[in-house]
Amino acid sequence: MNDFNDDQQCFVCGQKNTLGLRLRFRENAADQTVESEVTFPTFLQGWQDTVHGGMLSTVLDEVMVQAALFAGIKCVSAEITVKFKKPAATGTPYSLIGKVLESRGRVIEAEGQIKDASGTLYAQATGKLFQVKGTR
């Protein structure tokens, strides 16, 4: 289990996970970020028509890890802090943006954001990621 291999079953990005979100991430080299889009279905709601906060945290966690992966660093999350700014609605498309802020030894600091098409911020996270041995 400690090999951290990708079998494409990740709930967020696994393309073989039929119950997952199957998000695809891409690099924006101009501002050194990683981006994706997500529309949360109603079965991921908390209150009616409102995305469950745990789901927002989950995709923020993933976009930070993906930012590190695009920088060539395979890692796992050690700690994340999420700030919820506005309730996110199910059925609405959102943008995810992730960025590596700093790399100190095996600890990587990153940030993630969820915004709508107008640029309104719904949630943001900072995280400490831990580099998996044998990478980079």
CATH topology of domain 26-131: Thiol Ester Dehydrase; Chain A (3.10.129)
Tell me the per-residue pLDDT of 11-31, one tens digit each, with 9 for 90 and over: 899 899 899 899 999 999 999
Domain segments of the chain: what residues? 26-131
- C-alpha–C-alpha distance, residues 94 and 86, integer Å: 13
Measure the CA angle with vertex 75, ends 69 and 81; round to 5°.
Answer: 100
Which residues does 26 contact at the CB level (< 8 Å), separation at least 6? 34, 35, 36
pTM value is 0.93
Q: Is residue 123 very low, low, confident or very high in pLDDT (cuts 50, 70, 90)?
A: very high
Are residues 79 and 128 in contact, defined by beta-carbon separation less than 8 angstroms?
A: yes
Tell me the per-residue pLDDT of 50-61, one tens digit each, with 9 for 90 and over: 999 999 999 999
